[in-house]
């Protein structure tokens, strides 16, 4: 039997032994130095019920629109993977981070703004937008079927970042390029393979996959690693882009989940059967470690859930601001210097 995860307090310690022969090196906790605290607002007696307030608002939104789960996941990823988890992606304005081409179609801003308004009415100037984003994402994906992992808190909010500073990679990169990007953020192959599993729900624009459907690597043919049936299905939804201003439809990243927005391991089964929509997902089979992990997750949903809990905690600790660094915004859309302006 495969040995995969054993639990210690608060976070999983991941020990991977795959198929009895392959061993994947993986992190066993958060990247040091960790300056965050579990239940920070309760421990510091600054806003004891902050997490309850957040959860209540997420539940209200989720009941009306389950797509907030993939929207918040992408929003958190887009924040943490660029300049660290500092809520800079929430700031509005010309040439702001959220206007970068890679962030086209980002959603979830409305729920974060609503939660912030509620918390400001109860605990003014206390709970950071960065913590709200991390906690709300955890609660939303838990409602979608993910584990309710511990979110360490005490983050502070960062300043404005220009759009050209956004270095999020294309979803059409190779697995080596993808792994290099994740490693540049202090994450490893297990984190990468696990976090890409978030593509078990949500949508993508046709423009990100038309190369795989019609002209992969300028061959004039579809990507040979994509199942021919999937090629036909997606071609029906995504016609060739031949005209300027042509519409750019959205398609499900995981047609198995579709509009249900459920957190499942079917993503990994689709990768193994060459039914991944994005190239970056299908590329997981082109690296020995990520392929082994993909096989493990496809056969064991609980393994994926447990690894997801750790990977999200590790991503949520990237370059966080604590102590006196940064600020606690009064409005997540603007820095305090521009608040009320």
pLDDT tens digits, 269-306: 999 999 999 999 999 999 999 999 999 999 988 899 88
Give the β-pairing of 37-38 and 12-18.
unpaired
Q: How far is the CA of 47 from the CAs of 54, 70, 128, 200, 312, in angstroms? A: 12, 28, 11, 34, 24
pLDDT in tens, 212-254: 999 999 999 999 999 999 999 999 999 998 778 789 999 999 9
d(CA 266, CA 325): 41
Q: In this model, does residue 173 exceed pLDDT 50?
A: yes
pLDDT grade for 13, boundaries at 50, 70 and 90: very low
Nearest 5°: the CA angle 172, 178, 184 is 140
pLDDT of 312-327, one tens digit each?
A: 999 999 999 999 999 9
Q: How confident is the model at residue 73 (pLDDT cuts 50, 70, 90)?
A: very high
- C-alpha 254/C-alpha 64 separation (Å) is 21
Element spanning 312, H or E? helix 301-315
What is the share, in percent, of the chain residues with pLDDT greater than 70? 90
- Examine the pLDDT at 16 and tell me if it is beyond 50: no
Q: Which residues are annotated as a binding site?
A: 79, 82, 84, 86, 88, 97, 169, 199, 256
* Per-residue pLDDT at 6: 32
Question: What's 44-93 look like in SS3?
Answer: CCCCCCHHHHHHHHHHHHHHHCCCHHHHHHHHHHHHHHHHCCCCHHHCCC
Token pair of 192, please?
A: 């990468």
**CB-facing half-sphere around the CA of 320: CA atoms within 13 A:** 29
The 12-18 sheet, strands edge to edge: 3-7, 12-18, 22-23
Task: Give one DSSP letter per residue of 139-184, joined into a string.
Answer: HHHHHTT------EE--BB----BGGG--PPPTT--HHHHHHHHHH
Quick one: pLDDT band at residue 30, thresholds 50, 70, 90?
low
Is there a contact between 86 and 157 (Cβ–Cβ < 8 Å)? yes
Catalytic residue among 74, 156, 262, 329: 74
Q: With bands split at pLDDT 50, 70 and 90, how would you rate the model's confidence at 3?
A: very low
C-alpha pair distances (Å), 300 with each of 24, 168, 280, 294 = 17, 30, 22, 10
14 pLDDT exceeds 60? no
* Active site (annotated) includes residue 74: yes
For the CA atoms of the chain, what is the radius of gyration? 20
Q: Which residues on neighbouring strands pair with residue 96, listed in sequence order?
A: 162
How far apart are alpha carbons 210 and 241 in whole angstroms?
A: 8
Band the pLDDT of 259: cuts 50, 70, 90: confident
CA distance 330 to 126: 9
- Using CA atoms, how far apart are residues 337 and 150, in angstroms rounded to an integer? 32
201, with CB counted inside 10 A (0-12, 13-18, 19+), is: buried
194 contacts 204 by C-beta, under 8 angstroms: no
- Residues 97-116 pLDDT 10s: 999 999 999 999 999 999 99
The answer, yes or no, to whether residue 198 has pLDDT greater than 60, is yes
Binding residues for heme b, by number, are 199
Confidence category of residue 29, pLDDT binned at 50, 70, 90: low
CA angle 245/199/256 to nearest 5° reads 95
CB burial class (10 A; 0-12, 13-18, 19+) of residue 340?
A: exposed
- Please enumerate, by residue number, every residue annotated as part of a binding site for substrate: 169
What is this structure's pTM?
0.90
Q: d(Cα 252, Cα 269) in Å, to the nearest integer?
A: 16
SS3 content of the chain, % helix, strand, coil (to 5): 50, 10, 40
């Amino acid at each position: 039997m495969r040995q995969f995860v054993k639990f210690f307090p608060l976070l999983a310690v991941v020990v991977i032994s795959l198929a009895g022969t392959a061993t994947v090196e993986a992190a066993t906790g958060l990247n040091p130095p960790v300056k965050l605290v579990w239940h920070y607002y309760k421990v510091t007696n600054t806003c004891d019920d902050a997490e309850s307030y957040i959860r209540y608002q997420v539940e209200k939104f989720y009941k009306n629109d389950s797509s907030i789960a993939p929207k918040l996941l992408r929003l958190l990823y887009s924040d943490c993977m660029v300049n660290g988890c500092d809520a800079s992606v929430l700031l509005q304005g010309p040439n702001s981070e959220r206007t970068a081409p890679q962030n086209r179609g980002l959603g979830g801003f409305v729920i974060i703004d609503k939660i912030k308004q509620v918390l400001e009415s109860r605990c003014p100037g206390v709970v950071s937008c960065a913590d709200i984003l991390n906690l709300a994402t955890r609660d939303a994906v838990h409602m979608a079927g993910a584990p309710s992992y511990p979110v360490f808190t005490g983050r502070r909010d960062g300043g404005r970042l220009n759009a050209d500073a956004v270095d999020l990679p294309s979803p059409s990169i190779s697995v080596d390029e993808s792994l290099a990007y994740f490693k540049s953020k202090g994450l490893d192959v297990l984190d990468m393979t696990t976090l890409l599993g978030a593509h078990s729900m949500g949508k993508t624009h046709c423009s990100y996959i038309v190369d795989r459907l019609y002209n992969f690597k300028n061959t004039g043919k579809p990507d040979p690693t994509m199942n021919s049936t999937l090629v036909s299905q997606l071609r029906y939804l995504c016609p060739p882009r031949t005209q300027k201003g042509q519409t750019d439809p959205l398609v499900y990243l995981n047609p198995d989940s579709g509009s249900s927005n459920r957190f499942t391991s079917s993503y990994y089964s689709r990768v193994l059967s060459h039914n991944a929509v994005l190239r970056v997902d299908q590329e997981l089979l082109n690296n020995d470690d990520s392929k082994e992990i993909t096989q493990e997750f496809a056969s064991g949903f609980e393994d994926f859930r447990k690894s997801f809990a750790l990977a999200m905690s590790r991503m949520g600790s990237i370059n966080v601001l604590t102590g006196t660094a940064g600020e606690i915004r009064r409005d997540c859309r603007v820095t305090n210097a521009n608040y009320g302006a």
